[in-house]
């Protein structure tokens, strides 16, 4: 009997601590782990691609626990919070799902809590509600209705078997109230087909997937939010600007190198062709895909070097060459008659001292080294972007984190000749990378203040310059300066594409955001945004404030 109890306990611990299920990319634990890495406590932690598995997150938290005496008081408080939230440490052996107050525990417990939880030897399943409510208001004179809000509700089901298989599904509906224009400026609502294209005040969403992990290898088929890039806040390879997309991915992770591969299905806008009286007008959408991979080397505890490549292709079924993770896709796409859009990138991360991190990323949309010679850098075929970042956590004020970033993107970068947006680096009209148009640059200063373990306040200042294309009073383009994702080189383009040529647009935005965790599952967000521009952009209000409450991070 004792042996049986020991085996059951061992399996329970294995499930509890070793699960390949991903933790939502918006979870604040990622910011905590990044700070711990920058200050030198987990130097091998790499979050250039998130979400991470529960296994990897708990492993890093346990490393920090072993060095707890070296941490600052602020980091010790945060570590204790996440130990409870991820059930690494519990004050008793009671399962919250079996307690009479299990519903209140969902909203108030600092420990992981579930509405329903079922355990067997080597198997675990949970069922939880999803709830989120948001209110926002603007004083922009261009908005007739100044107030809006939405409510989302759904269910979240998780499965874990042994320490190598996980699966989950989220499904939810939402209702929009008040200004449709204001609600539509929020990607949670504005990117939903049912909201914009049907005119309904309802919208829905789903995410989920299956995940396996064995030794150094892990794989998944999934739809969820994924972020790729060295900079913590400005992920330039895949950001949170576009809608989620379906993909297959796998990872090989060793102590020296990590290899990531992903192949995903993107969305192009729907179009309708004339039909007949019997069958009506058929709807169409062109097929579009992306394949991406990243090879990262941990050169030392302070230096990491990564190589990245991606390809966008459309108008045909899945291409076997891009399912091969061990090819140089730039050469492969040329052998396929140069029909596709390939990109290559190089990332570096360097930590010269505890509390200081430097990051740099460059993306080549079209490599032609002859254009790097004096007098040729301005050629329109020279398409590239560059992102540099500094993160600083002062020893004299460890609750503060400073981030300074500069982003530069050449004209025509991420656009590509083709049918509509089929080969552009976008997903359903939203950028895959940063939401900054080509022929632009951006300065970003951000300060995060960890007031207490559950409470963080952020101050974010951005200034963006864009050399926009020029149009007449009828909306016809008169000059193409490479200032849009959706307009590639055409007959209006000049061979020399000078940076910021065209109609110079300036945008300065300032955000104050506060986030408070009421429990392990509930967070409250509130913020104020002010935006000044020298041009008209009715889709985004010039100022607004908001407050939201969500159960689980979705």
For residue 3, pLDDT beyond 60: no
Question: Which residues sit opposite 311 in a β-bridge?
Answer: 291, 342
User: In the structure, what pLDDT confidence band is assigned to residue 489 with cuts at 50, 70 and 90?
Assistant: very high
pLDDT number for residue 7: 42
- Pairing mode, strands 440-452 and 400-409: antiparallel
The pLDDT of residue 94 = 52
Cα 226 to Cα 212: distance, rounded to the nearest angstrom:
17
Which of 486, 435, 444, 441 shows the shortest CA–CA distance to 467?
Answer: 441
Do 143 and 541 form a contact (C-beta atoms < 8 A)?
yes
Lowest model confidence (mean pLDDT) among 24-28, 111-115, 550-554: 550-554
Positions of E strands within 62-122: 116-120
Q: Is the pLDDT of residue 475 over 60?
A: yes
* pTM exceeds 0.85, yes or no: yes
Neighbours of 450 (CB within 10 A): 22
For residue 8, what pLDDT is reported? Answer: 42
Q: Is the pLDDT of residue 396 over 60?
A: yes
Q: How far apart are CA 438 and CA 422, in angstroms?
A: 17
- Mapped to the 3 state alphabet, what secondary structure does 124-186 carry? EEEEEEEEEEEEEEECCCCCCCCEEEEEEEEEEEEEEECCCEEEEEEEEEEEEEECHHHHHCC
Q: Is the pLDDT of residue 98 over 80?
A: no
**Model confidence at 515: pLDDT above 70:** yes
């Amino acid at each position: 009997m004792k042996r049986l109890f020991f085996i059951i306990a061992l399996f329970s611990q294995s499930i509890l601590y070793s699960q390949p299920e991903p933790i939502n990319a918006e979870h604040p634990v990622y910011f905590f782990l990044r700070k711990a890495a920058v200050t030198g406590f987990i130097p091998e932690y790499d979050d250039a691609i998130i979400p991470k598995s529960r296994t990897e997150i708990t492993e890093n938290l346990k490393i920090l626990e072993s060095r707890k005496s070296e941490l600052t008081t602020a980091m010790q408080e945060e570590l204790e919070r996440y130990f409870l939230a991820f059930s690494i440490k519990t004050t008793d052996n009671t399962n919250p799902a079996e307690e009479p107050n299990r519903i209140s525990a969902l909203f108030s417990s600092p420990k992981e809590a579930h509405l329903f939880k079922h355990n067997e030897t080597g198997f675990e399943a949970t069922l939880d509600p999803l709830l989120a409510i948001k209110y926002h208001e603007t004083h922009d004179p261009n908005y007739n209705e100044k107030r809006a809000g939405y409510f989302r509700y759904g269910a979240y089901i998780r499965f874990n078997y042994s320490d190598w298989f996980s699966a989950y599904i989220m499904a939810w509906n939402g209702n929009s109230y008040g200004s449709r224009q204001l609600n539509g400026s929020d990607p949670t609502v504005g990117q939903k087909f049912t909201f914009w294209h049907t005119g309904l005040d309802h919208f829905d969403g789903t995410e989920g997937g299956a995940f396996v992990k064995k030794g150094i290898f892990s794989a998944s088929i999934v739809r969820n939010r994924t972020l790729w890039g060295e900079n913590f806040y400005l992920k330039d390879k895949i950001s949170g600007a576009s809608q989620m997309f379906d993909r297959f991915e796998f990872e090989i992770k060793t102590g020296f190198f990590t290899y990531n591969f992903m192949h995903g299905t993107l969305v192009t806008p729907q179009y309708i062709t004339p039909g007949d009286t019997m069958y009506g007008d058929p709807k169409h959408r062109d097929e579009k895909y992306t394949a991406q991979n990243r090879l990262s080397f941990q050169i030392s505890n302070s230096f990491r070097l990564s190589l990245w490549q991606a390809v966008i292709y459309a108008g045909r079924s899945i291409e076997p060459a891009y399912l091969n993770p061990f090819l140089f896709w730039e050469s492969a796409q040329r052998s396929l008659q140069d029909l596709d859009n390939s990109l290559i990138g190089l990332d570096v991360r360097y930590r010269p001292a505890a509390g200081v991190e430097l990051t740099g990323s460059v993306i080549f949309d079209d490599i032609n080294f002859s254009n790097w010679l004096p007098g040729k850098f301005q050629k329109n075929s020279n398409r590239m972007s560059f992102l540099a970042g500094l993160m600083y956590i002062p020893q004299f004020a460890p609750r503060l984190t400073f981030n300074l970033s500069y982003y530069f993107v050449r004209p025509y970068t991420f656009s590509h000749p083709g049918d509509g947006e089929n080969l552009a680096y976008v997903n359903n009209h939203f950028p895959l990378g940063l939401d900054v148009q080509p022929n632009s640059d951006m300065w970003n200063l951000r300060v995060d203040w960890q007031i207490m373990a559950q409470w963080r306040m952020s101050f974010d200042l951005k200034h963006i310059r864009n050399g926009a294309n020029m149009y007449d009073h009828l909306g016809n383009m008169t000059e193409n300066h490479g200032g849009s994702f959706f307009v590639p080189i055409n007959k209006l383009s000049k061979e020399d594409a000078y940076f910021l040529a065209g109609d110079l647009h300036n945008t300065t935005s300032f955000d104050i955001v506060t986030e408070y965790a009421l429990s392990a599952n509930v967070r409250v967000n509130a913020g104020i945004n002010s935006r000044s521009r020298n041009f008209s952009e009715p889709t985004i209000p010039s100022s607004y404030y908001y407050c939201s409450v969500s159960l689980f991070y979705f």
